[in-house]
């Protein structure tokens, strides 16, 4: 499972490896849901998320920025996640 604060390049490589192994596809899909999203305030992609975090859950999160403590709103997090997934070639 992805942990907040890992370098993006590392996460990307980890996802690539997992995608090659079909038996781990479910785990990889779970990992996609918690890709780090850049903070609207400081720009750092280091999120703190609850252990069983699902970004579509209501109430949302809480998800906050590890660097400046900014608390994400669900809408902006999901938007950021969408952008992130595109960057990773997942959408
Ligand atoms: Zn921040």
In a domain, 1, yes or no: no
What's the 44 CA to ligand 1 centre distance in angstroms? 6
User: Residue 35's pLDDT is what?
Assistant: 82
> ∠ CA 24-26-30 to the nearest 5 degrees?
115
* Separation of CA 76 and ligand 1 centre (Å): 13
**68 alpha carbon to ligand 1 midpoint, in Å?**
4
Question: What is the overall mean pLDDT for the chain?
Answer: 80
* pLDDT at residue 42, as a whole number: 97
Best CA proximity match to 4, nearest among 76, 75, 62: 62
Say how many Å lie between the CA of residue 24 and the centre of ligand 1.
Answer: 32
- Copy the structure tokens of residue 68: 């400046």
Main-chain dihedrals φ then ψ at residue 17, nearest 5 degrees: -60, -45
pLDDT tens-digit profile of 13-54? 776 766 555 455 555 555 555 788 999 999 999 999 988 888
User: Residue 78: inside a domain, yes or no?
Assistant: yes
Residue 2 belongs to some domain of the structure: no
Q: For residue 51, what are its two tokens? A: 């252990």
E-assigned strands of 1-79?
47-48, 64-65
Q: How many structural domains is the chain composed of?
A: 1
Do the domain assignments include residue 3? no
Answer whether residue 60 shows pLDDT above 90. Answer: yes
Cα of 53 from ligand 1 centre, angstroms:
19
State how far the Cα of 19 lies from the Cα of 57, in Å rounded to an integer.
25
**Cα-to-centroid distance, 23 and ligand 1 (Å):** 35
Domain span at 15: 8-87
d(CA 12, CA 9): 5
Ligand 1 center from residue 74 Cα (angstroms): 15
């Amino acid at each position: 499972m992805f942990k907040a604060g890992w370098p993006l390049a590392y996460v990307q490589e980890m996802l690539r490896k997992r995608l090659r192994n079909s038996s781990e596809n479910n785990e990889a899909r779970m990992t996609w849901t918690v890709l780090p999203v850049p903070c609207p305030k400081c720009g750092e992609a280091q999120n703190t998320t609850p252990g069983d975090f699902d970004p579509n859950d209501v109430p949302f999160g809480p998800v906050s920025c590890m660097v400046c403590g900014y608390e994400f709103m669900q809408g902006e997090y999901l938007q950021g996640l969408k952008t992130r997934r595109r960057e990773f070639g997942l959408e």
